Structure 1
Amino acid sequence: MRFLLAFNGTRGDIQPAVVVGSELQRRGHDVLVGAPPNLGEFVAAAGLATAPFGYDTHAHMNSDVVRAKLRTGGPRQRWRAFAEIRDLGWAQAVGDMRELHKGAEAILTGFVTEQIAAPFAEAAGAACISLHHAPIRPNSTVSPVPAALSGVPPVVTRASWWLTDTAMWLLTRDRQNTLRADLGIAGEVARSPRDRLEIQAYDPRLCPELVDEWSPSRPFVGFLDLAADQRARIGADTGDPDLPAWIAAGSAPVYFGFGSMPVPDPGAVVDAIVRASARLGVRALISTGWAGLTVPESPDVRLVGALDHQRILPLCRAAVHHGGAGTTAAVLRAGIPALVCWVGSDQPYWGDRCVHHGVGATTRLRGLTADTLVRELTTVLAPEPARAAKALGAELITPEQAVRHCADLVEEYTMASRPAGGVR
């Protein structure tokens, strides 16, 4: 079978596609990954065919609209910034998809590109499968605005989802209907997605209430992660030859890294990390990430580029990170507690999950100070979160189990979606 995996976003959005695509390719299928141009080399290094899909997300994450307009000013400015982000790259991604989807029997996609992938799949008679790395469908327990609402009655959560879905449908239905008409699809876009497999690529152990509410229509497979040989090929580790010796030479360090996120004030954040680490008497291992953090090194502070989470995190005492699903998974599987300093999107949800399960704390990255770090890390570095993190890590679905289950679901759904009489 021929599979198109069409994803746009940061590396955290693309990596699950690479994991699933690699397993499907290993099983003998024809796989093409559509990815943002800045992550094409990452996909190719993992051994998959790739083509550009959408805009350069590295440039976007460091643009003025993301770093400033979306996070400062009044409601009107923020709304204009949101509208700009909503419309960014639509025509480009649609144009790319016109070529990418040809011959595909199934299109796998993520939340941010579903509105493009779904009509192309429908027009081609292909299966459409979504891969979600956080809860983004209506439910009774997780708010659509996890940073703003928590602990509210289920009826309020349900109502907030209805309002959010309706607002998004009203904002985007015209362009979706225009695309549908252009592709020759009758009828208008529905308010809610339907006739689609939606795989939840995160661990059911962290959200049993969602498992009860959604099963079996939205199956949970566990967090997806690269295999060891893939991590080696893509350069997951910058190969700092002295890092293991530095870690072994003293107490286990605290890892600090914010992945692809735009750090609002890098200098202030680094200063807060260095001062808080000194006050707490801990060593700091700081990853530069897309924000390009810089810091004068000292015997107790070490700056690194990319590193292999599976290899290094188990050697750390705790992790301070942005709360992306991939990093959250790596930290939880390493069995260490975490302080989630979130920026937005699904990150507050993963911070909340860490608090809920007693394996960490959460706060906002913007305005992070040494005092905040000292206060929150004092909680995180206590004995009980360490014990809870170790126990929880041992209970999570392994990456190998997760990718096998995910690929099985993809194959089965694609086969079941074939028209009577065989291949399209």
Structure 2
Amino acid sequence: MRVLLSTYGSRGDVEPLVGLAVRLREAGAEVRVCAPPDEDFARRLGDVGVPVVGVSESARVWTKAAPPAEALPRRAAEVIAGQFEAVASAAEGCDVLVATGMMPAAAGALSVAELLGIPSVSVTFQQLTLPAPHRRPLAYPGRPFPPDVTDNRVLWDLDASNIDALFGEALNTNRVAAGLPRVDGVRDYVVGVRPWLATDPVLDPWQETPGLDVVQTGAWVLPDERPLPAELVAFLDAGEPPVHVGFGSMPMHASTDVAQVAVEAVRAQGRRIVLGRGWADLSLIGGGDDHIAVGEVNHQALFRRVAAVVHHGGAGTTTTATQVGVPQVVVPQLADQPYWAGRVADLGIGSAHDGPTPTVGSLSSALATALAPETRARAAAVAATIRTDGAALAARLLLDAAEGGAGAGSS
């Protein structure tokens, strides 16, 4: 059995595929991954022995460049063309394809599966792109919804129109050139009728919605056995548990200010600091023995040794922190991150910062909530309810569907 996993996006779009790839290989499947050609992605997949096919340009370079909203259709066209080129080659001889990542990338990958006659499944790592009338859709950059429209069904219709305007021409140009029929609705083509939701049902409960047969597998998290760097271990051993601050793949263009604000806010709570550099290359100003800056490390191991985690609210970071039972402060920047901040607050396992730009006062106040004994107790209690077999379940479902000859998901 040969399986192709395709994505385009940030670390949060790639890391879950590491977990699924390992579980698929344990079940006897041959796995390859199509992902952005970033060195850290290739290294992470290489650590578990999974070959990677680079698609399009570096996701990190694109994210840090922060292109204007009007550049999104052009970028989407490049990503879709890259999918037709790289995924078409990588998918030859495969028995099933998993498509995830940003919507135009998933649309391109699913089109390739359709072209080759390969069963496919469409997966999302957050439910906010699945059209459900009980909540609003996310607005795309440069395309805000009319403020006077409050009917969610109307908003979802506008969402479909916006997606077609942004991605439809590029997708259909490539489909027609490949001999495929045009797609009338890009979003509904990607979502299909049986999408997979790779999130935890406690952290991200799905509400049954007519017309969607959602398969919620649990999050795809692989136990990380990588040791922490010796310098970091020495720092952790030298005092009380610190607070970890990191914003993952977010560019955080005022990075120096954000780092300094975070350091001062953590110090105001009498705690030491572990600062994750991330894609913003956060750095510390001045000396002192109460802080350390780190690059890519094992978050599962690190989070178990800190008093709280301050982060941007990416699905992966939120899930990891919840799974290990550490209190959180979520400072959401964009997209689905306010949703995850709200879930953390609703569950009582941390606090949601109001807005993307913290001050020393606002972040210190949020930290005080997260560092309270009752928050830690609640975080530990919720951690015990988070399932850990999501990747294994997804692997079994995927292989069963492929072996049965039925479409694994949307195609």
Which deviates more, 266-275 or 408-417? 408-417
Distance change >3 Å, CA 246–CA 214, structure 1 → 2 = farther
* Aligned residue number for residue 224 of structure 2: 228
Distance change >3 Å, CA 226–CA 300, structure 1 → 2 = same
Superposed CA deviations along residues 366-423 of structure 1, whole A, max 9, x for unmatched, are 432212211221222223322221111110001xx1111111111122234459xxxx
Aligned residue pair count: 394
3-state SS of paired residue (1:204): coil
Distance change >3 Å, CA 188–CA 88, structure 1 → 2 = closer
* Aligned residue number for residue 196 of structure 2: 199
3-state SS of paired residue (1:3): strand
Shift of 1:358: 1.4
Distance change >3 Å, CA 8–CA 147, structure 1 → 2 = closer
Q: Could you tell me which of 336, 340, 347 is aligned with 1:350?
A: 340
| Structure 2 Cα separation of the partners of residues 310 and 26 of structure 1 | 22
* Aligned residue number for residue 180 of structure 1: 175
* Aligned residue number for residue 76 of structure 1: none
Distance change >3 Å, CA 384–CA 158, structure 1 → 2 = farther
| Structure 2 Cα separation of the partners of residues 395 and 27 of structure 1 | 26
Q: Could you tell me which of 106, 113, 121 is aligned with 1:121?
A: 113
| Structure 2 Cα separation of the partners of residues 384 and 158 of structure 1 | 39
| Structure 2 Cα separation of the partners of residues 21 and 298 of structure 1 | 42
Distance change >3 Å, CA 331–CA 188, structure 1 → 2 = closer
Distance change >3 Å, CA 157–CA 382, structure 1 → 2 = farther
* Aligned residue number for residue 52 of structure 2: 50
Q: TM (normalized to structure 2)? A: 0.88
Q: Could you tell me which of 260, 264, 270 is aligned with 1:271?
A: 260
Distance change >3 Å, CA 216–CA 157, structure 1 → 2 = closer
| Structure 1 Cα separation of the partners of residues 117 and 352 of structure 2 | 44
Distance change >3 Å, CA 363–CA 133, structure 1 → 2 = same
Q: Does 1:404 align with 2:397?
A: no
Q: Does 1:219 align with 2:215?
A: yes
Distance change >3 Å, CA 215–CA 332, structure 1 → 2 = farther
3-state SS of paired residue (1:28): coil
3-state SS of paired residue (2:331): strand
| Structure 1 Cα separation of the partners of residues 160 and 247 of structure 2 | 29
2:308 maps to a residue whose letter is A
| Structure 2 Cα separation of the partners of residues 147 and 162 of structure 1 | 14
Distance change >3 Å, CA 207–CA 241, structure 1 → 2 = closer
Which deviates more, 89-98 or 346-355? 89-98
* Aligned residue number for residue 244 of structure 1: 233
Q: Does 1:293 align with 2:295?
A: no
Superposed CA deviations along residues 319-377 of structure 1, whole A, max 9, x for unmatched, are 10111111111100111211111221221111111111111222367432212211221
Say if 1:134 and 1:346, in contact at 8 Å, map to a contact too: yes
* Aligned residue number for residue 375 of structure 1: 365
How do residues 101-120 of structure 1 correspond to structure 2 at under 5 angstroms? 101-112=91-102, 113-120=105-112
* Aligned residue number for residue 20 of structure 1: 20
Say if 1:336 and 1:390, in contact at 8 Å, map to a contact too: yes
| Structure 2 Cα separation of the partners of residues 163 and 121 of structure 1 | 28
| Structure 1 Cα separation of the partners of residues 134 and 172 of structure 2 | 32
Quote the RMSD (CA, aligned, Å). Answer: 2.7
* Aligned residue number for residue 413 of structure 1: 401
| Structure 1 Cα separation of the partners of residues 132 and 193 of structure 2 | 17
1:92 maps to a residue whose letter is G
Distance change >3 Å, CA 365–CA 253, structure 1 → 2 = farther
Q: Does 1:168 align with 2:160?
A: no
Say if 2:25 and 2:31, in contact at 8 Å, map to a contact too: yes
* Aligned residue number for residue 32 of structure 1: 32
| Structure 1 Cα separation of the partners of residues 140 and 259 of structure 2 | 24
| Structure 2 Cα separation of the partners of residues 156 and 250 of structure 1 | 53
Q: Which structure is higher in helix share?
A: 1
Distance change >3 Å, CA 59–CA 186, structure 1 → 2 = closer
* Aligned residue number for residue 74 of structure 1: none
* Aligned residue number for residue 137 of structure 2: 144
| Structure 2 Cα separation of the partners of residues 89 and 188 of structure 1 | 17
Superposed CA deviations along residues 272-305 of structure 1, whole A, max 9, x for unmatched, are 0121122221211111112211114422222222
3-state SS of paired residue (2:70): helix
3-state SS of paired residue (2:216): coil
3-state SS of paired residue (2:32): strand
3-state SS of paired residue (2:218): coil
3-state SS of paired residue (1:273): helix
Q: TM (normalized to structure 1)? A: 0.85
Shift of 1:146: 8.2
Structure with greater contact order relative to length (CA < 8 Å, sep ≥ 6): 2
| Structure 2 Cα separation of the partners of residues 278 and 290 of structure 1 | 24
Superposed CA deviations along residues 241-278 of structure 1, whole A, max 9, x for unmatched, are 14334323322211111112101211101110121122
Say if 2:265 and 2:360, in contact at 8 Å, map to a contact too: yes
* Aligned residue number for residue 317 of structure 1: 307
3-state SS of paired residue (2:131): coil
2:157 maps to a residue whose letter is W
* Aligned residue number for residue 360 of structure 1: 350
Q: Give the % identical residues.
A: 26
| Structure 2 Cα separation of the partners of residues 227 and 305 of structure 1 | 19
Distance change >3 Å, CA 164–CA 115, structure 1 → 2 = same
1:27 maps to a residue whose letter is A
Distance change >3 Å, CA 163–CA 244, structure 1 → 2 = same
